[in-house]
Amino acid sequence: MKRILLDHFRRWGWVLALCGGLEFVLGWSIVASPTMAMEFWALLLTMWTGATLLSFDLKRGVLRALAPLPLTGRQIGRGWWLATVAIPAITLGALLFLGAGIFYHFHPDQAFRADRLVMVSLFNLGWLGISFTMVFNATRGFGGNGWEFFWNAAVSWLTILAFFGSMLLCQNAATSPVKAGILLGVGALLTVVGWVRAERLELGRAGLYLGRSEPPNRRRPANALTPLAAKISPHVPGGYGGGPFLIRTAFVPGFLQLTIMVALMAVLWRWQTQRLASPQEPAGMVAVGSLMCGWFVLFYQFMPHLGQLRLLRTLPLSTTRLAVVLIGLAVLPILAVGTLVAGVAGLTLGATVAHTIVNRFTFILAPTALGVFVTVWQGAGKQAYAGVILTLFGFWLGGMGLQTLLHVPEIPFRLTGLIAAISLLLAFLLTHRTLRHGSRAFRIQPNSGGNLPWGAGR
């Protein structure tokens, strides 16, 4: 188990070191600016010190490397839980207090908010536990019967709802007993569930991560022969293929998944406004929702299709059309969801909210399109992940800075549209050039999206 921990920390040391430095700065900022909401930034840091890194390892086949070793499933599960929940929670808490203590040492006139530091540390533990359960639950497979399948699906949806819902509840949660109670209660429950499931890891159930594309049939006798699948289709399917077929098949699931995610966030925001007696403007929820749409499309919709780029390049498609297809895979679902949400909001909440939604979803098209170029340029590797993250959050922070510079609550739509148009054109030109002169995206790589039961894989 020690070697599992050391191997995890060695390979992801640079990410953990960066997040640790930012956690130190966060503790410093909590004492320096006691009125500023820091919970959302703490959530972002826990995303990249916990099970998100484990999910990348699972997608690259780490279980196939561990399966032949003299380790039990319980030892592997315990090691991963310690590496992605317990140890990061302790380390982040220590760095948080260290940053706050150093600032207080040089500025003793400031109040040392130990209560807020403790709450943020507890939130970190809850978020780490939620993300571990969300990722590790996929190793349970589909289950051997209907009850196990239902339970695995219920746990997956609960963790997804808790993770995305906490992005709304976390704002000023340290000062709200109700919000803090909900986050800590759900986080504690899912942390325990993750520990129990880690203790009961069975490598035989993790067939999706061991190279099997479907769950094993437990009803078939062990000595029964597996029938050979037909290699030739009995008929040629109708319709069209190539780029239009890829866009059609990728657009529908992407649109549905984004719509469900945005709907859940809207319900949580509405419930928070009515039940928690904390009315908030929808601008914050729209900003987070649009950012998560760009995040989801790039990581769980576009990157899994990047493995088909070699095949797409062999089709009778020009480089220009292929670049348009690749950008359309990421941009079209966001456009459709933004239009739908803006229409519903205009009918229910008014034209002002609809304008905010159109503005935010138009702005997020810029980093999403440039994220397509980054992944095509770097391939589905660590550099691509880092580049996409920097692009998304760089544009998001840049938009906040632009609002402050212009002294406006929202960037004017004319400026937002200009930024989006320039970014789309730039992304097209760079993607076109990369397709003609680059080679990294055409190399054979592991499936970056993984074969996850909730549909993130191919």
One domain, residues 266 and 322: yes
User: 160: domain range?
Assistant: 2-209
Q: Is residue 429 part of a domain?
A: yes
Q: For position 213, what pLDDT does the model report?
A: 44
Q: Is residue 217 part of a domain?
A: no
One domain, residues 260 and 205: no
Please state, in angstroms and rounded to a whole number, the distance separating the CA atoms of residues 255 and 241.
Answer: 20
Residues constituting the chain = 458
Which of 135-149, 207-221, 434-448 is modeled with the greatest confidence?
135-149
One domain, residues 31 and 106: yes
One domain, residues 187 and 301: no
CA count, 13 A, side-chain hemisphere, 5:
12
C-alpha separations of 318 from 245, 322, 378, 430 in Å: 16, 6, 21, 15
Chosen domain end from 193, 209, 225: 209
One domain, residues 163 and 261: no
Q: Is residue 123 part of a domain?
A: yes
Q: For position 448, what pLDDT does the model report?
A: 43
One domain, residues 155 and 284: no
The interaxial angle of helices 73-81 and 114-136, nearest 10 deg, is 150
Summarize pLDDT for 294-329 with one digit per residue, the tens.
Answer: 888 888 788 877 777 777 777 777 888 888 989 998
Reported as a pLDDT band with limits 50, 70 and 90, residue 334 is very high
Q: Is residue 219 part of a domain?
A: no
Chosen domain end from 209, 231, 260: 209
One domain, residues 166 and 46: yes
Is the pLDDT score of 31 beyond 60?
yes
Please state, in angstroms and rounded to a whole number, the distance separating the CA atoms of residues 273 and 415.
Answer: 31
Q: For position 180, what pLDDT does the model report?
A: 82
Q: For position 278, what pLDDT does the model report?
A: 52
Please state, in angstroms and rounded to a whole number, the distance separating the CA atoms of residues 5 and 81.
Answer: 10
Is the pLDDT score of 273 beyond 80?
no
Is the pLDDT score of 222 beyond 50?
no
| DSSP states along 45-57 | HHHTTTHHHHHHH
Q: Is residue 376 part of a domain?
A: yes
Q: For position 94, what pLDDT does the model report?
A: 94
- Of residues 128 and 225, more confidence is placed in 128
Q: Is residue 139 part of a domain?
A: yes
Reported as a pLDDT band with limits 50, 70 and 90, residue 430 is very high
One domain, residues 56 and 108: yes
Domain count, the chain: 2
Tokens found for residue 33 = 């600016």
Q: Is residue 221 part of a domain?
A: no
One domain, residues 423 and 280: yes
Is the pLDDT score of 268 beyond 80?
no
